[in-house]
Chains A and B, each alone.
Chain A
């Protein structure tokens, strides 16, 4: 089977940095993707890691360690609009984590 585990909730202050972790167990590995979903909206793609290391896309970065079956999404210079749910997913799109709800406070 496959599973991707994330913390259920994270709260952070506007302007700060927050890290959302994802640990996974998969029978095969196709990389790790990250999605953002605002309440009532559809998921939107943020980032993908096929190999170990850090991928940076503007204020968002994603990290992968295949040896540790672990990845994280790093959000910098937090803005109120970053309040949303964030999901990690297997790179083959077959499995998603249960999601982390990020609340950004003033």
Chain B
């Protein structure tokens, strides 16, 4: 049982390049989330998926797109990276409804945009 896995662990991009961050969970959770965390800050929600086939914007969705590929996988895409997107990105999953407050986080992806 790996929990929540994320790839890659580290990435350096040039401004304007695109990339996709991958996330998968093996806990059969319905809900999945993408957050970003800037130095010394809390987590800010980018997008979430309450269940397979649905996605919703969070607090800071601009510059990102997501895909809920199936129940296990939830990817985050940066179409044209900007230095302001330099951050640590965390994927998380939880049950839907009762129990949703308990989130399980992946190890994070550290992204540097030059």
Q: Which residue of A lies closest to B3 (CB)?
A: A42
- A95: chain B residues at CB < 8 Å are 45, 59
State whether B92 touches A93 (Cβ < 8 A): yes
Interface bin, chain A: 20 to 34
Establish whether residues A92 and B100, one from each chain, have CB atoms under 8 Å apart when the complex forms: yes
In the assembled complex, which residues on chain A have CB atoms less than 8 Å from the CB atom of B61?
none
CA distance A97 to B45 in the complex (A): 12
**CB-contacts of A15-60 with B (<8 A):** 30-31, 33, 35, 41-45, 48, 50
Chain A interface (Cβ within 8 Å of chain B)?
Answer: 4, 30-31, 33, 35, 41-45, 48, 50, 87, 89, 91-99
Interface residues, chain B, CB within 8 Å of chain A? 31, 33, 35, 40-45, 48, 58-59, 90, 92, 94, 100-108
